[in-house]
Structure 1
Amino acid sequence: MGRANIAPWEQTPDWEKASASAVYRQIAAFIATTDGACAKLSREQRGRFVALCWTAQIYKHFPDPKPSYVADWEQLLDWQKQTDADIFDAVERAAATLS
């Protein structure tokens, strides 16, 4: 189900690079606006936030995306859920080093 493509950054389409950057900024802003209180979120809540941000980017770039590209959290494969949670954690670590 969706989001299974992996490519080097240099070969990643521009829309996907822009989307990844936008999701990064959304996570970073979320962390900043909660003054770090989002650290209390569960791993699942962190992953859901990333998945929702990504889904919004898909809708931004594709007027009629495949259903698998905009699948709800419950429909994602476990590796996708874990990856989304890992993304949140990586942005949180990066934000901490910038503070």
Structure 2
Amino acid sequence: MSSDDDHGGKVFREAWITGVTTHYPGTPKDSYITPWENTPDWERASAAAVYCQVVDFIELTDGAATRLSPELKGQFVAICWIGQILTRIPDPKPGYIAPWDQLPEWQQKTDIGVFEAIQRDVTASEAVSKS
């Protein structure tokens, strides 16, 4: 994985952990809050891929995607993640590929936070490149 992928994957993972620790009812599973360094390779690659998909979406819409409702932002992350699951897990559990309306509220809020963290990262990167 390149350092760019590593950066994007870390942004995704940090936002995921923040969302889980904020929104998960009770004590989350250890795998939900595993630090980047201990995250399995397939999950790191998936996080990096979804980061890139969100960045591409924002860039290909000239930033208009940032004006989506929070729910649509979260749905986009969820759909991209499902694509990664289907790519990397031959016979995933139904819960791994559940549609948005079947995801628990904590996961929906976490996915929204992931999109918004990536959006902030893109905005910060643009500000640095313009200065």
TM-score norm. by structure 1 comes to: 0.93
2:14 aligned partner: none
Is the partner of 2:106 in helix, strand or coil? Answer: helix
2: CA distance, partners of 1:72 / 1:38: 21
Distance 1:80 1:15 in 2: 20
Secondary structure at the counterpart of residue 7 of structure 1: coil
2:90 counterpart SS class:
coil
Partner of 2:53: 26
Structure 2 unaligned segments of length 5 or more: list them: 1-28, 127-131
Say whether 1:98 aligns with 2:86.
Answer: no
> What residue in structure 2 maps to residue 80 of structure 1?
107
Task: Map 1:57-68 onto structure 2 (within 5 A).
Answer: 57-68=84-95
Cα distance, 1:8 vs. partner? 1.1
Matched, 1:35 2:62: yes
Distance, in Å, in 2 between the alignment partners of 1:46 and 1:61 is 23
How far apart, CA to CA, are the structure 1 residues paired with 2:66 and 2:110?
Answer: 17
* In 2, Cα distance between equivalents of 1:10 and 1:37: 33
What is the Cα-based RMSD across aligned positions, in Å? Answer: 0.9
Is 5-14 or 65-74 further displaced after alignment? 5-14
SS at match of 1:65: coil
Whole-Å separation in 2 of the counterparts to 1:96 and 1:9: 23
Higher Cα Rg, which structure: 2
Distance apart, 1:6 and its partner CA = 2.3
Instruction: Report the AA paired with residue 96 of structure 1.
Output: T
* 1:15 alignment partner AA: W
Match of 1:16 in 2: 43
Q: Unaligned regions of 5+ residues in structure 1, if any? A: none
Q: Percent identity?
A: 52
Q: Distance in 2 between matches of 1:16 and 1:39?
A: 25
Name the count of aligned residue pairs: 96
Which letter maps to 2:78? A
Distance 1:8 1:93 in 2: 21
